[in-house]
Structure 1
Amino acid sequence: MRLYYLVLVLLAGIACNKEAALTPEPIPPVYTLPQGNHDYDDTIVAWYKKYNTFILYKFTQLDYAYNYYDKKPDSAFNANPAYVASTLRFIREELLEVYPEAFLKTTLPYKILLASYIGSGTTRSATGFSASSNMLAIGWADSTLAQKTPAQRKQLRGWLHRAYMERTFRTDNTIIPDAFKALAPPAYGQVLPAKLLEEGIVEPYTNALNVATDFLAYIEVITSHTKEELEAGVLSSRVDVKGLIRKKYDVVIATFLNKYQIDLQAIGNRP
């Protein structure tokens, strides 16, 4: 009887030790904020506390290029400190002030990298934005952002929203609706470049054209143009000869309004 009792005591002790060993210790953050003592560092810290997102203007190539699934072939370079404040203002005006708080808290990435330049060698990225499953990089933290014309700023807005939504697709926070897929061509690779608009595709021709890039192109086009501009352009019967662009446009607008409470066209209508 004493032996049986001793065994029970030993087993209970082992169980307690195992339970204690399985209790995880809090994992410290990979990055430390603030990264400096500028006025804009207070903004970055406040946004981190609100959204749990690191905004970094000092980072390494490892921070940019590597993620859970693949490695980016290009590079990103640290922000010019003199232009971090203007880049933060761009983020606030073009993202934080237009997306609902609930959507932001669900979809903002683990880190946003403020880069002075994104590209390969001396060739700058055409859009200046890059996304992965845990990162959004903004490559306009230098003097060039202030030099953009109003029309160029609107195009930057479209590229920003496209990159942001690309990341949300990667993390399954947003999806491409079946109604959009139903309007897609049977095989994107078989659509001739000259027939893209006729087939309802507003994305320029590339070998990587697929339903995801097709959908993202609509986000880019809508958020960078007013409704009036679209009606005179890709939504006109002169361009949209089969009516497919308008059908896809309606699906995209309805999806973001009903599912995410985001009015993409209202974003495009902004000055």
Structure 2
Amino acid sequence: MYKLTYITALIFITALMVTGCKKEGALTASEDEQGYTLPQGYHGYDTTILDLYNKYSAYFLYRFTDKDTYWTPTGWKNATLNSSGTWNTGYGVTRADTNFISSQLALIKKLWLSYYTDKFLVKFLPAKVMLCASVDSLYTTYVFTPTFQAINADKSVGAWFNYDNICVNYGNAGVTAMTSGDSLKFLAKTNLIFIQSIPGRNLSAPTNDFTSVANYNGTFSSQANAYAQGIITIYYNGRSAQLDWNAYMEAMVSRSEANLKKSTANTDMTYMGILNTTKDSNGKIRQRYNIIRNYFITNYGVDLQAIGNAADK
């Protein structure tokens, strides 16, 4: 794994710390089995990054390699051109501009970390948070002139989860000129990505009382049948208590409570209206919703619905 330190560099850093060359005061280096060393530099925000590590054991990195972010045990996740002439879906990032990391960290604290307790963050933050100048979703699209060909298109996003890390955008000049709309999109995307990463790392499993409400052995001919059982995942896809647990978490952080209660046709397969009797004909969705919402409030002091209420405006 990529190493951020060498013996000579450590000696030099130690000398600087001893002689007090920096006005910020001495920073304590930290290193564990991940192989990263903090601080990565001697900017004012390095103290903030070290504080975050000491609180949550998560590395907020502005120096990282392609392997650090794209590699997984099942392969690299950056978009590449395959033998058929199309691009596989993936993502691309660039490292944060060091001139804007202080503002980026303030943004992360305000619109992401502030919605969670320390207990929640210690448990669920990934090993690495990559501080990026750009985070792009990459996918194949097609052009027809002058010749038909597949090209790699991109869409800027606020954050992206991969294996053991979350890449976060806005380590660039744009962080100083964000509109209220920009902030809302960042809040919604970053928190959704964080919540999706939790079951993605096998860190949250359904409780027995949640699982016992629904019958997963039946045959469902429509989405309305699934809703009647308290199942909010798409009825013709694979079904399980774990998938529903994940879906309820997503629903809470991506939709306001008002929109979850909005009357919506029971043929609709989105989270909109899942708490209204039009979809929740037997009250099982509300029952399961309350179980999972109260679980995170009781065990971690976090109301996931508060995030959806802030993000879905």
Fold match (TM-score > 0.5): yes
Distance 2:155 2:287 in 1: 35
Q: What is aligned with 1:77?
A: 93
Deviations 1:73-97 (A, max 9, x none): 3344123425534442343124432
Q: How far 1:154 moved relative to its partner? A: 5.1
Q: Pick from 189, 214, 219 the counterpart of residue 156 of structure 1.
A: 189
Distance 1:127 1:208 in 2: 29
Q: What is aligned with 2:147?
A: none
**Pair 1:243 & 2:283 matched:** yes
Deviations 1:21-43 (A, max 9, x none): xxxxx967622333345443332
- Residue type of the alignment partner of 2:258: E
Q: What is aligned with 1:4?
A: none
Aligned-residue CA RMSD (Å): 3.7
Q: What is aligned with 1:220?
A: 250
- Residue type of the alignment partner of 1:122: A
- Residue type of the alignment partner of 1:225: R
Distance 1:70 1:155 in 2: 28
Is the contact between residue 131 and residue 169 of structure 2 (CA under 8 Å) also seen in structure 1? yes
Q: Identity of aligned pairs, percent? A: 25
Counterpart secondary structure, 1:268: helix
Distance 1:40 1:206 in 2: 49
Mind listing any 5+ residue stretches in structure 2 that lack a counterpart?
Answer: 1-30, 78-89, 139-151, 263-272
Q: Pick from 124, 143, 166 the counterpart of residue 136 of structure 1.
A: 166
Is the contact between residue 54 and residue 111 of structure 1 (CA under 8 Å) also seen in structure 2? yes
Distance 1:123 1:210 in 2: 33
From the two aligned structures, give the one with the greater helix fraction.
1
Q: What is aligned with 1:265?
A: 305
From the two aligned structures, give the one with the greater strand fraction.
2
TM-score by length of 1: 0.69
Q: How far 1:148 moved relative to its partner? A: 6.5
Q: How far 1:234 moved relative to its partner? A: 2.4
Is the contact between residue 130 and residue 165 of structure 2 (CA under 8 Å) also seen in structure 1? yes
Is the contact between residue 188 and residue 209 of structure 1 (CA under 8 Å) also seen in structure 2? no
Deviations 1:203-262 (A, max 9, x none): 568956654343222212212333333222321112323323212211111211223332
Instruction: Tell which structure's C-alpha radius of gyration is larger.
Output: 1
Counterpart secondary structure, 2:135: strand
Q: What is aligned with 1:50?
A: 55
Distance 1:85 1:195 in 2: 50
- Structure 1, 150-159 or 105-114: larger mean CA deviation: 150-159
TM-score by length of 2: 0.61
Change (3 A) 1:213 1:60: farther
